[in-house]
Amino acid sequence: MRKLKNEELDRKSVEEYRSGKKLPLVVVLDDVRSMHNIGSVFRTSDAFLVEKILLCGITAQPPHREITKTALGATDSVEWKYYSTVLEAVNELKNQGYKILCIEQAEGSIELAEFIPQEKTKYAVVFGNEVNGVSQSAIDSCNYCLEIPQFGTKHSFNISVTAGIVLYDLSKKISR
């Protein structure tokens, strides 16, 4: 076995990414504080061909040195837009026909592994603040609340880890 060189990975250029077909999935960041987490979500969204990222509330916006540090150029490839509130973003997505998925531990949540997306449906996935999670107003507006089961002493994952798990899972399940 031999590790592949970067030039052997057949990666898209920024232009190819922007003009190419995407997963019918939008990421919504609800008051995410850490710019390293924001950059990481950009990078993960790029890897799974996410349509765009909506940055809401206190979530910082590119360009910023701390976002760039972890995004490694993904702020150039992944389209993004800022909204003053998560409800503004969610309502616009609903008007565009998206089903809203919140990632949170909540009554009636569905385990991520058990969630089966509907064919030919566009989805938006809301990730919340590092301390308070997804806001209750976003949960009240969502179609489904998905949860990643956890078995240790901690009750949550870092948002960058959560985004990696969720986007990988949904990328396998949602038809392009």
Flag whether 77 is in a domain. Answer: yes
User: Which pLDDT tens digit goes with each residue over 48-101?
Assistant: 999 999 999 999 999 999 999 999 999 999 999 999 999 999 999 999 999 999
Residue with tokens 């052997």: 8
Flag whether 125 is in a domain. Answer: yes
DSSP track, 109-152: -EEGGG--PPTT-EEEEEE-BTTTBS-HHHHHH-SEEEE----S
* Angle value at C-alpha 140, between 164 and 148, nearest 5 degrees: 30
Residue 176 is predicted with a pLDDT of 65
User: Which pLDDT tens digit goes with each residue over 120-154?
Assistant: 999 999 999 999 999 999 999 999 999 999 999 99
Flag whether 68 is in a domain. Answer: yes
Flag whether 13 is in a domain. Answer: no
Give the chain's domain count: 1
Flag whether 5 is in a domain. Answer: no
Is the pLDDT at 10 greater than 90? The verdict is no
Whole domain around residue 24: which residue ranges? 20-173
CATH of the domain at 134: 3.40.1280.10
* Angle value at C-alpha 16, between 11 and 21, nearest 5 degrees: 100
